Structure 1
């Protein structure tokens, strides 16, 4: 809020230059933040602090992840050590922490998340011990998934907090998110689908979505991977490799793939909106797609390599490009002079391409 106000003011005053705009050292501590936040929202949470040497001994990653450093450790932590004097001189002001937290809490209440829900509030259920008898407690931290949780220590006791969701709850909510994603992505697309849309009917808040998926793109990819084996079974195993020769295999592959694109909303969407697949690949590791054992594209490339002697052009990329051109035919069917001839035209085109790509049988 302070930064947004300063940026608008600087723009109005035509202020230019390079500025570090983190809060100055000592303006607020993590302790101030947590204590004040608990007071603002009326929480009865008890903050239990860990000695720095204990965290260091247990290799708890403060550093850049948490913007903290161990006591006495001079190693810089990036933006938390930035010199902000130029920004302060240019008019940057910092409101009292309590005022900022109060406004943020009021905003969250207006957004429909006024009180912590049972599915996000950790509940104590025991304790566990570290070396030399020190107890350690963990509570759910969404950004780190269920296996990495926020930590609280003291020299005597701390409770072990369970994950925010049981295994059954997580399975149920994951299934609901996948169902919502499939329906929304195939009707309105990736870009127009919001987190609010995806969590509707699941009983979780928008922020809790990240307990289950790292991003919308990750959910999209999971849907693709879930269907990948079935798609490969139909277009590769049940068509391309089922025929007695390469020419017949390519012909069957094209017919099966066109039927798949017509009847499978998700894969059909990828053909009509290739930018969505590009968005998924940009956001995620493309190796996860290309290395998937049931990837139909990888299986097609392997087939073309195996049957190179049957093909008129040994470059698999050229042949794949020709096949892709045929698969785009449905996108342009409305440009035909006679739409009623489309099925016959498509059959003839597939025959011509399959014949043209393969050598005559010996």
Structure 2
């Protein structure tokens, strides 16, 4: 029987997620050990399994929290503008900025790690362990609404979703040998790409 109260369990689980966010960001998933996580929280390594079935299960929770945070930032940014063109522009700018600054967001969107983890955890579910995971890892919350606009060039939300997600891969170009050599040069390229996309997906004014 667990010695933790419900309040203790909620607190420790939250602390594990926060420790996971910090350590996965700093060291990556593979190099982070369960003992590193439990040391941060002040519990024994064996106690970890009272809260998560595996390190992968914790990583899923961390990625889901990061996705929720990203969606909140995008929604806040979009709420401050008045036109669909500006919505697309700030969505792309916000997403690209987060991908550059946050390795977990980069893993989530660019590497598709949340979707990959679904396959890795499926075996655990067959052994009687069930982990709830969202059915998608990059769906844009505004794509369906934009697809219904007469001025928007495309009417398939999935196509819009994938078009914008593909642009996110340019965030990696800053570190590529042939990419821009400075942050300023990279941001200039990024702004030009965003403007090209915005002008391309809208017809006329």
Specify if TM > 0.5.
yes
CA radius of gyration, larger in = 1
Relative to structure 1, the CA distance from residue 337 to residue 230 in structure 2 (aligned partners, 3 Å threshold; closer, same or farther) is closer
Q: Distance in 1 between matches of 2:31 and 2:142?
A: 32
Structure 2 unaligned regions, length at least 5: 123-129
Identify the structure with the greater helix proportion.
2
- State how 1:118-197 maps to structure 2 within 5 Å: 140=1, 163-197=2-36
Q: Distance in 1 between matches of 2:140 and 2:172?
A: 24
Q: Which residue of 2 aligns with 1:247?
A: 85
Q: Relative contact order: is structure 1 or structure 2 higher (C-alpha 8 Å, sep ≥ 6)? A: 2
The answer on whether the counterparts of 1:181 and 1:219 sit within 8 Å (CA) in structure 2 is yes
1:235 matches 2:70: no
1:304 matches 2:146: yes
- State how 1:95-106 maps to structure 2 within 5 Å: none
Q: Shift of residue 346 of structure 1?
A: 1.2
Q: How many residue pairs end up in the alignment?
A: 194
Structure 1 unaligned regions, length at least 5: 1-139, 141-162
The answer on whether the counterparts of 1:236 and 1:296 sit within 8 Å (CA) in structure 2 is no
Q: Which residue of 2 aligns with 1:77?
A: none
Q: Distance in 1 between matches of 2:8 and 2:133?
A: 27
Q: Shift of residue 287 of structure 1?
A: 6.8
Q: Which residue of 1 aligns with 2:133?
A: 288
Alpha carbon RMSD of aligned pairs, Å? 2.8
The answer on whether the counterparts of 2:85 and 2:198 sit within 8 Å (CA) in structure 1 is yes
1:278 matches 2:115: yes
1:358 matches 2:195: no
Q: Distance in 1 between matches of 2:40 and 2:75?
A: 37
Q: Distance in 2 between matches of 1:297 and 1:236?
A: 13
Q: Distance in 2 between matches of 1:201 and 1:249?
A: 40
1:257 matches 2:101: no
